[in-house]
Amino acid sequence: VYASAITIAEEEGIKGDDLVLLKTAALYHDSGFLLDPSDHEAASCRLVQQHLPRFGYTADHVDRICNMILSTKVPQRAMDPLSGVLCDADLDYLGREDFFMVGDRLYHEMRTTGALHNRWEWNRLQEGFLSAHTYYTRSSRLHREPKKQKHLAWIRQWLIDNP
């Protein structure tokens, strides 16, 4: 997510303090998985609140970082441009070549936890998720949306071929 956030931020013209806050949010956004996998965004925010003030981050900085992190909770809700960048970075893989490889790891994770039972359920879930998803930034719409649509078409065809 960090590398994707930087790439998107550069294309969106984000600089200075905003870029520092975005990078920090990108680094912390999944850290809460260590504490609470079911609500990792809130747990990540607690870690931000606990640790960043001693590194010179102000209360406003901490609030902005937490807002970015919390915006990535599905369904994503970006309330400002920086949150939009982080949301797009978080789901950047939807429009990348490694979509199926990343998705396969998620599939196995969900099977292990009992959230899914088979590939058909997984592809149905993916079809709904990709159909509902919208990128926030111009650069992600330009660079990731076309490939995401190809992935969606492939999944829809798979569902037709495997009723």
Segment 44-102, tens digit of pLDDT: 999 999 999 999 999 999 999 999 999 999 999 999 999 999 999 999 999 999 999 99
* Contact present, 130 and 94 (Cβ < 8 Å): yes
List C-alpha distances in Å: 118 to 28, 70, 75. 32, 30, 23
Closest CA to 100 of 160, 157, 155: 155
How many Å apart are CA 87 and CA 78, to the nearest integer? Answer: 7
Q: Quick check: 118 pLDDT over 90?
A: yes
Instruction: Please provide the average confidence, as pLDDT, over all residues in the chain.
Output: 97
Q: Is 14 exposed, middle or buried (0-12, 13-18, 19+ CB in 10 A)?
A: buried
Contacts of 73 (CB under 8 A, 6+ apart): 41
Q: Quick check: 38 pLDDT over 90?
A: no
What integer pLDDT is reported at residue 37 of this predicted model? 87
User: 17 pLDDT band (50/70/90 cuts)?
Assistant: very high
Structure tokens that stand for 110 in this block: 């969900």
Q: Quick check: 148 pLDDT over 90?
A: yes
Instruction: Determine the average pLDDT of the residues in 8-14.
Output: 98
What integer pLDDT is reported at residue 157 of this predicted model? 98
* Contact present, 28 and 46 (Cβ < 8 Å): no
Domain ranges of the chain: 1-89, 91-163
